[in-house]
Amino acid sequence: GVAAVMGAVRRHAMHLPQAQALLSVASLEEMLQDLMPFLAHEMGTMRASVLRVLCCYDQPALLAAPSNDEAATPASGGSTGGAAGKASRVEVLELLRAIACDPCTLEAGRRWSVALIRQGNHVEYGRLPPFMVPVLAHGLIGVLRVRFSPLWPAAVQALAACLQFQTKVCWPIVRDVLTATQLEFISGGSRNQQQQQPPSRGGADSYKSRGAGRG
């Protein structure tokens, strides 16, 4: 759909000056203001669709590292694409798209785990552009919704780095998700208890009306 059209524009952007502006990093930043929350959506198809669209835009460059300390930390993992040119670009959205759209295999899981941990390193060393930090936080919550447990430790480690080094930005995001999950759990438990109780004087109709409230 939309991602396919934008992908076609992306391939011919060099011949279309107006398309270059449409798919610029500035346009990506503007689009993220509306689409960022969907990266943590419960539905995998929703996350995948949004990520396909966002990956059609130009991706921002990594910021210069404040010191050489980081060079030794992520080196063992290498780059997801294996090319030096891609290492200078933020890989957050491409990584999240791969996790959302590609088959979850053990080999892919190992590769993605290394890349997720690398994102935490980028947060720690201030290499992500500021507008990409909340994007990563939302995306990591989305990764934790994927039913592929080998990814979870790396996603938790990267999310911990976000909370430690970008607390003001990332904690409200995580807090809101935790609050919503807690409320859903409590309300779900309440509905289960109601269903286990015998029908009230209203009989079957009353029981159906309670059941209909589940949506």
More confident residue, 117 or 82: 117
Which of 96, 97, 81, 116 minimizes the C-alpha distance to 7? 97
Residues 172-196 have pLDDT tens digits of: 999 999 999 899 888 875 555 555 5
Higher pLDDT residue, 69 or 162?
162
89 bridge partner residues: 61
Report how far residue 155's alpha carbon sits from residue 160's, in angstroms, rounded to the nearest whole number: 8
Does residue 103 register a pLDDT over 90?
A: yes
Max distance between CA atoms of the chain, in angstroms, equals 73
CA distances from 36 to 30, 54, 73, 163, 210 (A): 10, 10, 29, 18, 35
Report the predicted TM-score, pTM, of the whole model to 2 decimal places.
Answer: 0.74
pLDDT of residue 202: 46
51 compared with 80, residue with greater pLDDT? 51
Alpha carbon distances (Å) from 156 to 27, 95, 107: 30, 16, 19
Q: 121: closest CA among 178, 78, 171?
A: 78
215 falls in which pLDDT band (50, 70, 90)? very low
In this prediction, residue 152 carries a pLDDT of 97
* 152-161, 177-186, 196-205, range with the lowest pLDDT: 196-205
pLDDT of residue 187: 85
